[in-house]
């Protein structure tokens, strides 16, 4: 990054050019578990969720191959396409019970 940021007024080119010297490490405290727990991660100015969301106890990760047109059609429906695909398969099972 070069120049000054309009948001922070930081001269990023100066920051990028600086290399930390050994004596500067004395200024940095060792992070404790409490510090990590209290830390707040931000992405794009918004608080980022911690960890991965829970898929629920009945979800199983697997690898399946679909025809590209089928996958493209579901992905084109936007966020939540995997849930909609799961629901479509569940509806098919209702119409075609095994046995």
Mapping DSSP to helix (H, G, I), strand (E, B) and coil, where does residue 43 land? strand
Residues 6+ apart with CB under 8 A from 42: 48
Tokens of 25: 């490490």
pLDDT band per the 50, 70, 90 thresholds, residue 71? very high
pLDDT for 2: 56
Mean of the per-residue pLDDT values for the chain? 85
Mean pLDDT of 4-19: 81
Least Cα distance to 41 among 33, 32, 31, 51 occurs for 51
Mean pLDDT of 69-93: 95
pLDDT for 6: 57
pLDDT band per the 50, 70, 90 thresholds, residue 41? confident
Residues 6+ apart with CB under 8 A from 84: 74, 77
């Amino acid at each position: 990054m070069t120049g000054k940021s309009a948001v922070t007024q930081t001269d990023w080119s100066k920051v990028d050019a600086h290399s930390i010297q050994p004596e500067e490490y004395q200024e940095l405290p060792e992070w404790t578990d409490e510090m990590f727990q209290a830390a707040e991660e931000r992405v794009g100015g918004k608080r980022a969720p911690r960890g991965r969301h829970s898929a629920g106890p009945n979800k199983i990760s697997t690898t399946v191959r679909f025809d590209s047109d089928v996958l493209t059609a579901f992905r084109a429906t936007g966020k939540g396409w995997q849930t909609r695909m799961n629901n479509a398969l569940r509806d098919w099972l209702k119409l075609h019970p095994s046995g």
